[in-house]
C-alpha cells in the first residue's frame, strides 16, 4: 500500500500489515466520498478562474491617465472658480456698497431738494439785486417827476400855438 | 499541443515526462493543458479541503484559490519545483486549509464540539437507514477529528491527496521512517476510536 521501505523495519511493515487494512480501506473510501462530493460544474468554474488569471493584461491605454488628467484639470478649474467666487463675495461684503447707494425715493428727494435750493438761490438773488429794484424805482419816480414838470411847462401854451407853432416867446423874439 | 493522456482522470500521474509536458504547455497558457491539470488534480485537492472543512462551498473556494495560485506561478515562471509538482500543489492546498482554519478559529467560531455532535448525531439518528459502511465512514470522520493536527494532515495527504510517503516527506521535511511510524500510530488511534464507539453503541 505504501512506498516499500528498502530496509526492513519490523514495526513498519505496513504494506503487509493486515492489522489496519480495514481502517485504511475506510480512509480510502472516505477520501473517495469527499472527492465525489465535488459540486457539479466545479471544474468549469476552475477553468474560468484560471483563464482570468492567465489572460494577458489588457492593453494599456493612455485614456485612464488622460481622464485623470482632465479630471484633475477640471477639479483645478472648479477650485479656482470657487476661490474666485468666495473672494469676490468677501470683498463685496467687506466693502458694503449698499450703505452708500440711494434708493429711487432718496434720489427723487435729493432732486426735489436741489430744485428748492435753486429756487431759494434765485430768490436770494432777487433779494440781493435790491439795488437794481431801487434804481428802477428811482428811475420811475424820476420819470414821473419829469412828466409832471413837462405838463406844467406846456400848460402856459394854448393848443393853437402849439398847432401854429407860434408862441408867446416866439412873437417876443 | 499536449499529448493525450491515456490514464484515468484524477488518478495520480506516474509518468514524470508527461506531467512535465503538461506543465510546460500550461505555462504557455495552453487551454487543453489546463483542462488536463484540472481533471487530474481538482478532485484530490477538493477532497482534502472538504475533509477538513466539512463544507462543499468552502472546499471549492479553497480549490479555486489553489488553482489560481498554480496558474499565476506557472505563467510567471516562478514555479521552480521541478519534478516535485504534486508535493508543491498539496503544500499549497495544506497551507490554504490551515490559513482558513486559523482565520476561523481567530473569529472565535467554535467548531470541534459541534462538529463532533453533529456528525455523531447524524450517525445516531439515521443509523437504521444507513448502510453499515456509511455508518463506519461516519465513525471514521468523527475519529479523524480526534487526531492531532499533524497526524490528521498526514492521513489526509496520504488518503485524500493520494500522495506517496516520499512526496509527503518532501512537503513536511520529515524523514520517511518518521512518517511511517506516525502513520502507523494514527491508524491505531483511529481504529481504537472506532472500536470504542462501537463498544459504546453495543452497550447502549
Render pLDDT for B93-130 as a digit per residue (tens, 0 to 9).
Answer: 999 998 988 887 776 545 555 555 555 555 555 555 56
A112-126, B41-55, B132-146, range with greatest mean pLDDT: B41-55
* φ, ψ at A63 (rounded to 5°): -60, -40
User: Residue A84 above 90 pLDDT?
Assistant: yes
CATH number of B1-109: 1.10.1740.10
3-state SS class at A156: coil
- The predicted pLDDT at position B127 comes to 54
Render pLDDT for A27-36 as a digit per residue (tens, 0 to 9).
Answer: 999 999 999 9
- The predicted pLDDT at position A11 comes to 44
A residues 53..112 contacting B (CB < 8 A):
53-54
In Å, how far is B67's CA from the nearest CA of chain A? 7
Of B88 and B110, the one with more pLDDT: B88
Render pLDDT for A91-120 as a digit per residue (tens, 0 to 9).
Answer: 888 887 777 766 667 767 777 777 888 787
B55-69, B80-94, B107-121, range with greatest mean pLDDT: B55-69
Contact A11/B181, CB-based, under 8 Å? Answer: yes
Question: What's the average model confidence in pLDDT over B176-182?
Answer: 93
- State the Cα–Cα distance between residues A71 and A65, nearest whole angstrom: 9
Find the angle CA(B5)-CA(B11)-CA(B16) to the nearest 5 degrees: 60
In Å, how far is A60's CA from the nearest CA of chain B? 19
In terms of Cα–Cα distance, which of A44, A33, A38, A40 is closest to B56?
A38
Contact by Cβ (8 Å): B96, B62: yes
Longest CA–CA span in chain A (Å) reads 204
User: Residue B78 above 70 pLDDT?
Assistant: yes
Contact A26/B155, CB-based, under 8 Å? Answer: no
Question: What's the average model confidence in pLDDT over B24-28?
Answer: 88
% of chain A at pLDDT higher than 90? 17
- State the Cα–Cα distance between residues A70 and A77, nearest whole angstrom: 10
- State the Cα–Cα distance between residues A140 and A47, nearest whole angstrom: 132
Question: What's the average model confidence in pLDDT over B178-189?
Answer: 93
User: Residue B67 above 90 pLDDT?
Assistant: yes
Contact by Cβ (8 Å): A31, B159: yes
Contact by Cβ (8 Å): B66, B59: no
Contacts of B158 in chain A (CB under 8 A): 27
Of A104 and B60, the one with more pLDDT: B60
The residue of chain A with its CA nearest to that of B138 is A30
pLDDT grade, residue A80 (50/70/90)?
Answer: very high
Q: Give ranges for CATH 1.10.10.10 in chain B.
A: 111-204
Contacts of A14 in chain B (CB under 8 A): 180, 183-184
- The predicted pLDDT at position B105 comes to 74
Contact by Cβ (8 Å): B139, B123: yes
Render pLDDT for A61-75 as a digit per residue (tens, 0 to 9).
Answer: 665 555 556 667 788
Query: Which of B9, B11, B23, B38 to mutate to test binding with chain A, by most A CBs within 10 Å of its CB?
Result: B38
- The predicted pLDDT at position A7 comes to 43
- The predicted pLDDT at position B66 comes to 94
Query: Which of B50, B79, B167, B193 to mutate to test binding with chain A, by most A CBs within 10 Å of its CB?
Result: B50
- The predicted pLDDT at position A135 comes to 84
- The predicted pLDDT at position A162 comes to 55
Those residues with Cβ within 8 angstroms of residue B23's Cβ, 6 or more apart along the chain or in another chain: B33, B37, B74, B79, B85
- State the Cα–Cα distance between residues A173 and A106, nearest whole angstrom: 83
**Worst-scoring range by mean pLDDT, A20-24, A63-67, B131-135?**
A63-67
Q: Does B198 touch chain A (CB under 8 A)?
A: no
The residue of chain A with its CA nearest to that of B38 is A43
Domain boundaries, chain A: 65-95, 113-173
Which CATH class, in words, describes the domain spanning B111-204? Answer: mainly alpha
Q: Does B159 touch chain A (CB under 8 A)?
A: yes
Contact A3/B67, CB-based, under 8 Å? Answer: no
Could you give the count of Cα atoms lying within 13 Å of B178 in the half-sphere of its Cβ?
9
Residue B95 Cα distances to B92, B102, B190, angstroms: 5, 10, 24
% of chain B at pLDDT higher than 90? 42
**C-alpha cell belonging to residue A113:** 431738494
Those residues with Cβ within 8 angstroms of residue B186's Cβ, 6 or more apart along the chain or in another chain: B147, B151, B152, B154, B155
B57-73 b/e with 16+ CB inside 10 Å = b?
Answer: ebbbebbbbbbbbbbeb
- The predicted pLDDT at position B134 comes to 86
User: Residue B178 above 90 pLDDT?
Assistant: yes
Contacts of A20 in chain B (CB under 8 A): 184, 187-188, 191
Give A144: exposed, middle or buried? Use CB within 10 Å, 0-12, 13-18, 19+. Answer: exposed
**Worst-scoring range by mean pLDDT, A76-85, A122-131, B182-191?**
A122-131
Residue A1 Cα distances to A4, A130, B60, B164, B181, angstroms: 8, 149, 29, 9, 15
- The predicted pLDDT at position A13 comes to 46
- The predicted pLDDT at position A166 comes to 52
In Å, how far is B123's CA from the nearest CA of chain A? 15
CA dihedral sign, ordered B113, B116, B120, B125: positive
pLDDT grade, residue B34 (50/70/90)?
Answer: very high
User: Residue B36 above 90 pLDDT?
Assistant: yes
Query: Which of A28, A50, A51, A55 to mutate to test binding with chain B, by most B CBs within 10 Å of its CB?
Result: A50
Q: Does A136 touch chain B (CB under 8 A)?
A: no
CA dihedral sign, ordered A67, A73, A78, A82: positive
Q: Give ranges for CATH 1.10.1740.10 in chain B.
A: 1-109
**C-alpha cell belonging to residue B3:** 499529448
Amino acid at each position: 500500500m505504501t512506498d516499500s521501505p528498502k530496509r526492513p523495519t519490523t514495526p513498519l511493515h505496513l504494506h503487509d500489515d493486515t492489522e489496519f487494512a480495514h481502517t485504511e480501506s475506510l480512509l480510502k473510501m472516505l477520501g473517495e466520498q469527499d472527492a465525489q462530493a465535488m459540486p457539479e460544474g466545479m471544474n468549469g468554474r476552475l477553468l474560468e478562474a484560471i483563464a482570468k488569471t492567465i489572460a494577458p493584461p489588457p492593453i494599456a491605454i493612455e485614456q485612464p491617465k488622460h481622464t485623470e488628467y482632465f479630471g484633475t484639470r477640471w477639479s483645478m478649474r472648479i477650485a479656482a472658480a470657487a476661490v474666485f467666487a468666495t473672494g469676490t463675495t468677501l470683498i463685496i461684503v467687506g466693502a458694503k456698497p449698499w450703505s452708500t447707494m440711494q434708493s429711487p425715493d432718496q434720489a427723487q428727494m435729493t432732486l426735489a431738494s436741489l430744485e428748492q435750493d435753486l429756487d431759494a438761490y434765485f430768490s436770494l438773488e432777487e433779494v440781493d439785486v435790491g439795488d437794481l429794484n431801487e434804481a428802477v424805482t428811482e428811475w420811475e419816480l424820476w420819470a414821473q417827476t419829469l412828466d409832471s414838470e413837462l405838463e406844467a411847462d406846456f400848460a402856459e401854451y394854448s393848443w393853437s400855438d402849439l398847432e401854429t407853432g407860434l408862441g408867446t416867446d416866439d412873437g417876443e423874439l | 499541443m499536449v499529448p493525450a493522456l491515456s490514464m484515468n482522470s484524477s488518478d495520480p500521474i506516474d509518468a514524470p515526462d508527461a506531467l512535465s509536458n503538461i506543465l510546460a504547455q500550461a505555462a504557455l497558457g495552453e487551454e487543453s493543458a489546463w483542462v488536463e491539470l484540472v481533471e487530474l488534480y481538482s478532485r484530490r485537492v477538493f477532497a482534502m479541503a472538504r475533509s477538513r472543512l466539512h463544507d462543499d462551498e468552502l472546499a471549492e473556494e479553497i480549490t479555486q484559490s489553489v488553482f489560481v495560485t498554480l496558474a499565476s506561478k506557472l505563467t510567471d515562471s516562478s514555479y521552480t519545483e521541478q519534478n516535485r509538482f504534486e508535493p508543491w500543489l498539496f503544500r499549497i492546498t495544506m497551507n490554504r486549509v490551515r490559513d482558513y482554519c486559523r482565520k476561523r478559529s481567530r473569529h472565535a467560531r467554535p467548531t470541534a464540539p459541534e462538529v463532533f455532535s453533529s456528525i455523531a448525531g447524524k450517525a445516531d439518528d439515521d443509523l437504521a437507514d444507513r448502510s453499515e459502511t456509511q455508518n463506519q465512514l461516519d465513525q471514521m470522520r468523527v475519529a479523524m477529528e480526534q487526531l492531532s493536527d499533524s497526524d490528521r494532515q498526514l492521513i489526509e495527504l496520504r488518503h485524500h491527496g493520494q500522495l506517496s510517503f516520499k512526496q509527503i516527506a518532501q512537503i513536511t521535511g520529515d524523514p520517511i521512517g518518521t512518517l511511517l511510524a506516525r502513520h502507523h500510530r494514527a491508524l491505531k488511534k483511529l481504529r481504537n476510536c472506532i472500536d470504542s464507539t462501537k463498544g459504546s453503541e453495543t452497550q447502549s
